[in-house]
Amino acid sequence: MQLFRRDVLRSLEAGIVGLLLIQTVRHVFATLYAHASSADLVERVPNPDTLSDVPGVVKLATTQGEIATLIALLLLPLLALIISRWGISFPLTVILAALGRSMALQVPDLEVPMASLAAGAGLLYLALVIARRPAHFPTVILAGFAADQVIRALGDTYDRTWQSDYVVRFADGFEPDMGLLVSITAVLLILLSIVLWYIERRQELRERQEEGYAPPLRGLLNTWGGLALGGVFFIEFTLLSLPNAVARWSGTDYAGLVPWLLAATTLPLVPEVRDVARRFAGMFDSAWRGWFWVLLISLLLVIGRGYDGLLAGVALVFAQFFVGLTLWWLVQTGLPRRNFTGLTVLFAVVTFAVLATGDYFTYDYAYVRNLSDPYQNVGDVLRAFRDMGLGLTLIAVLLLSIPMILARRRIPWRGGPAGHTLLVLALVLGVSFAGAAIVGNTVVRRPPNPDCMRVATYNIHGGYSQFFDSNLDGVAEIIELAGADVVLLQEVDAGRLVSFGIDQPYWLARRLQMEHTFFPQNEALQGLAVLSRVPIVDMEGLLLPSEGNQAAVMHVTLDPERLVADPLADEIGNLHIYNAWLGFREAERDGSPVPEGEQDQNRQLSTMLNWLAGQHGPAWTDRIMLGGTFNHGPDSPLYKKLRMDNLDNPAIKDPFAGLRAENAKTLYLVDGTTARYDYLWIFNLPFTGVLVDDSAEAANTSDHRPAIVAINRREGVTCQP
C-alpha cells in the first residue's frame, strides 16, 4: 500500500511538472518570436525614441539578452550529470520550475527569463526522472499534454494561465485572478515534492536495512533516444497534442475531437493497454517491428492530412495513441555505470528546435530575405520549406521510431496490477468526459435586425499588433464595438506555435457568440476565416496562383432570410461572401524588374474574378460582397479594372469611394507609410454607411484597420445609418 501511495504521489508530481514544461515551451517559443519580430521592426523606424508608449515594442538588445538567457537555462539538464544521485535533487528542481512559472506572471519585465527558468528546470526534472524514476518518464509527457489540453479546452484553445489579471469565477463566488491561482499551485507543488522526498528517503533507509536489498533500476536516454524525444516533442507541440490543430488537419469538429484526443493521449498509461500492445508487437519479427511502426504512424498522418471528415480525424487520434506508446521505447533500464541522460536530453531540445524552425518557414517562406555571401544559398534553402509541413512531420515520425527500430531483444511494454489498471482507466474516462463537458455547445447571437447588417473586413495580423503585442482580446473588442454581424478575417492562425497554439477563428467565434468557417491558405493552420451571426449555409475555397506567399479566396454562402418572414425569400437567393488575400506586388526578381503580366496579383485577381463569373454570371443578379486584403491601393490598375470594367458588370460598387483618401486608409506600417489595402466591394446590395476604424484601440490590435459597411438585406428594406 505504501508503494502504491508513493507511485500516486510520483505520478501527480510528474504530471504537474510536465504541464509546466509544456506550457512554458509553448509560451517562450511564441513570445521570443514576437519579441524578435518587434525588435526587427524597431530597427527600421527612423526614430525609435518615439515608440516609448507603443504596446509590444522590444529593443534588439533586450531580445538578444532573452535569447542568451534562454540558451543558458536550457543547459540546466547538464546538472543531472552531477546531482542525479542526490536525494534532494527532485525537490530542488521542482522549486526552480515552480518559482520560474510563478515569477513569470508576477514580474512582467522578467517574463521570458523566468519562463525560461521554468522550461530549463522542467527539462532537468525530465532528465532526473529518466535516470532515477524511468517508469514515470511517460507520465511527465502524457499527463502534461493531457492537462494542457484540458486547460486549453477551458479557454476555447486559449491558455489563460499566462494572463495574471485574468479572473476565474467559481460557483461559490470566489473570484481569484490567475496570478494568485498559479502562485497557489506552485506552493502546493513544492510542498508535494518535499513530502514525497521525505517519504522516499524514509522508505529507502528502511529498504537498505532489509536482507537481500537490490538497488532500483535506473534509466538511460542514449543518443538515439534523445533524437527520438525531440521528434516526439515536435509532433506533439505542433499537431497531435492540440485538438484544434488535429481538427484543422482533418476537417473535423474541434468539440467532437477533444474527448477522443484526451483518451488517446492518456490510454497508453493504462497497464493493461500496454500489455495488449506488447502481445500485438510480439506478432512481428523484431527486425521489421520498428519499420512497421514507422509505416503505421506515417500512414495515419497521411490519411489525416489528405482527407477530410471522420476517417481523417480517427486516423490522427490513433496516431496520437501510437506516438504515446512509443515513449516506453526511448529509455533503457538497468544499472548503467555512466549515465549521460542530462546531455542527451539536450539532443532532444536541439532536434525539436531544428524541426520547429523548419515548421516556421513552411508558413513564412515568402518573407525570407536574400543574404550576402557566403550565405547566399541559405535563403533558397529556407524558401524550399514551402509545402513541407507533412514532410517534417514524417521526419519526426522516423526519428521517434529509431529506438524501436534498433531494439531487437526487448519489448518494454508491460502490464501491471489490476488495481492500477482500474484506477488509471477511471482517470482516463473521467478526463475524457470532462473534456466533452467543457467544450459544450456553441451559442450564436443572431443580428438584432437582420434587415440592417454590418459587414467588416479585418486583417488581424496573426493576432499581433503592429509591433507584435499579442492582443486577441483587443481584436474581439474591436469587432464587438463595431457591431459587425459578418466579419471577413485575413492572416488568421488556427494553432501555430508562433501564435501560442490558439485557434483564433474558433476562439473569436466563441467569444463573440458567432458562427465561423475557416479556409487554410498556408499548410492547414493559417488562412482566411469568416465570422457570422447570419446562418452559414456552405463554404468553399480556392488557392490562387502564387510564386510568393500563397494567396487564396474563400466563398461563404449565408442565408439571412432564415431570420425573417420575407415572402420574397425564395426569389432573393442567398447572400454570397467572398473573402480574399492577394499577394504582394514584386518589384524585381533576380535583379530584373518583374513585368506587369507576370505579377502574382494580376494572375490572382483574374483567377478570382473568373471564379466569381463561373458562380454568378452571366446574369449577376445575386447579392455578393467581395472583400479582404488586396495589397494594392486605389491608384493600381487592378483597382481600376475591378471597379470600371470587371466582367462588364455595372452593379459592382466600392462603398468607400466617396471617402477622403486619408479616411479610407487601412494599412499602417512602422516607417509611417499608410495605404488602403483592404476593401469591401458590393454587388446588388444597398448600403447606408461606411467606416474605417482608426481608433487608438484598433491601432493596438493589428497593423491593419477594420473597414465596415452597413448594408440593407435587400432592395426595398430601409435602415438608418
- Comparing 416-425, 534-543, 573-582, 590-599, the range with the smallest average pLDDT is 590-599
Same domain flag for 85 and 188: yes
Residue 720 lies in a domain: no
Residue 213 confidence (pLDDT): 67
Rounded to whole angstroms, the Cα distance separating 170 from 152 reads 18
User: Which of residues 62 and 648 earns the better pLDDT score?
Assistant: 62
Q: Could you read off the pLDDT of 82-129 as tens digits, one per residue?
A: 988 888 999 999 999 999 999 999 988 899 999 999 999 999 999 999
pLDDT on residue 46:
80
- Residue 392 contacts residue 359 (beta carbons within 8 Å): yes
Q: Is residue 721 part of a domain?
A: no
Q: Which amino acid is at 486?
A: V
Of 412, 441, 470, the last residue of a domain is 441
211 and 165 in a common domain: yes
Residue 1 within a domain: yes
Report how many helices (DSSP H) and strands (DSSP E) the chain contains, helices first.
23, 18
Cβ(655)–Cβ(678) below 8 Å: no
Q: Comparing C-alpha atoms, which of 319, 471, 286 is closest to residue 396?
A: 319
Query: Which of the residue ranges 18-22, 384-388, 585-589, 693-697 would you say has the lowest mean pLDDT?
Result: 585-589
Residue 199 domain-assigned? Answer: yes
Nearest CA to 16 out of 267, 188, 258, 168 is that of: 188
Residue 718 domain-assigned?
no
- Per the CB < 8 A criterion, the answer to whether 666 and 699 are in contact is no
> Based on the domain organization, do 160 and 255 belong to the same domain?
no
Tally of CA atoms within 13 A in the half-sphere of 4 that contains its CB: 9
pLDDT value at residue 716: 78
Q: Which residues contact 283 (CB under 8 A, 6 or more apart)?
A: none
How far is it, in rounded angstroms, from Cα 521 to Cα 541? Answer: 9
Q: Which domain holds residue 708?
A: 452-587+595-712
Is the Cβ–Cβ distance between 624 and 616 less than 8 Å?
yes
The total of structural domains in the chain comes to 3
- Residue 419: the pLDDT is 83
Q: Give the list of residues 6+ apart from residue 369 with CB closer than 8 angstroms, or none.
A: 379
Which pLDDT value is given to residue 591?
64
Residues 4 and 203: beta-carbon distance below 8 Å: no
Report how far residue 236's alpha carbon sits from residue 396's, in angstroms, rounded to the nearest whole number.
10
Report yes or no on 426 lying in a domain: yes
Q: Of 167, 189, 216, which one is at a domain's C-terminal end?
A: 216
DSSP assignments along 406-469, one per residue = H--S--------HHHHHHHHHHHHHHHHHHHHHH-PPP----S-TTEEEEEEEE-GGGB-TT--
Task: Tell me, yes or no, whether 619 lies in a domain.
Answer: yes
Concatenating the DSSP letter of every residue in 498-563 gives: GGTT-BHHHHHHHHHT-EEEEEEEETTTEEEEEEESSPEEEEEEEEEP-SSSPEEEEEEEE-GGGG
Same domain, 401 and 487: no
CATH of the domain at 308: 1.20.1250
Residue whose grid cell is 489563460 = 160
Taking the CA atoms of residue 514, residue 520, residue 522 and residue 526 in that order, the dihedral angle to the nearest 10 degrees is: 20
**How confident is the model at residue 15, as a pLDDT?**
94
What is the CB neighbour count within 10 angstroms for residue 567?
6
Q: What band does 590 get if pLDDT is binned at 50, 70 and 90?
A: low
CB 241 within 8 A of CB 320: yes
Does 149 lie in the same domain as 195?
yes
Q: Which of 394, 421, 441 is at the close of a domain?
A: 441
CB 678 within 8 A of CB 457: yes
**494 and 397 in a common domain:** no
Average pLDDT value for residue range 191-214:
80
Residues 629 and 653 in one domain: yes
Are 348 and 283 within one domain?
yes
* Statement to judge: residues 27 and 85 lie in one domain: yes
